[in-house]
Amino acid sequence: MPNSIHLKNSNSQFSHISRQNFLDGCRYVYIDIGTNIEVQIRKIYEPHLYPNAPVLPLFKQIFGNYSNEVCSVGFEANPLHDNYLKEFENYCLKRNWLVKIFTSTAVSIIETNLTFYTEPGNEANNQWGASLEANGKKSSITVPSIDIVSWFKRAVLN
């Protein structure tokens, strides 16, 4: 499996994945849309940190004892999580877990720029209320979106 992810240069940030697809060789692919601070992804590789997590039996049923053959992809629009998610991705890669987090990236059915609303002052809850919807008093930021259907066809099915 490759150690790094390469995207071809194009007019769009996500239009083309290089010939070396980072999901090649994966027995399983786990996709977390709105990964926040990646807790669900971490549960796949370090379930002992979450012994009472309700999702663990499901992960066991689907992935068995093959967490080393699970490739995980996360998408997170909130740029306030970027540094943490990049550190987590590196942490995983150092352990030979193939994890790719698309930071500051919203998920849509088209590639465009979207307004994302953060929750300043809600760091204790990891910005759970951050959203593409402007509910309440939130700060806004523009983030790119990925066409998830096209990405899935290229990266997972191809």
In sequence order, the 6+-apart residues with CB closer than 8 A to the CB of 117 are 130, 131, 132, 133, 134, 135, 138, 139, 140, 141
Residues of the chain falling short of pLDDT 70: 1-20, 121-129, 131, 137
pLDDT at residue 122, as a whole number: 60
Domain range list for the chain: 28-111+149-157
pLDDT at residue 131, as a whole number: 67
pLDDT at residue 125, as a whole number: 57
pLDDT at residue 9, as a whole number: 29
Q: What are the b/e assignments for 71-101, b being 16+ CB within 10 Å?
A: bbbbbbbbbbbeebbeebbeebbeeebbbbb
What pLDDT digit, counting tens, does each position of 121-132 carry? 666 555 656 767
Taking the model in full, what pTM does it have? Answer: 0.80
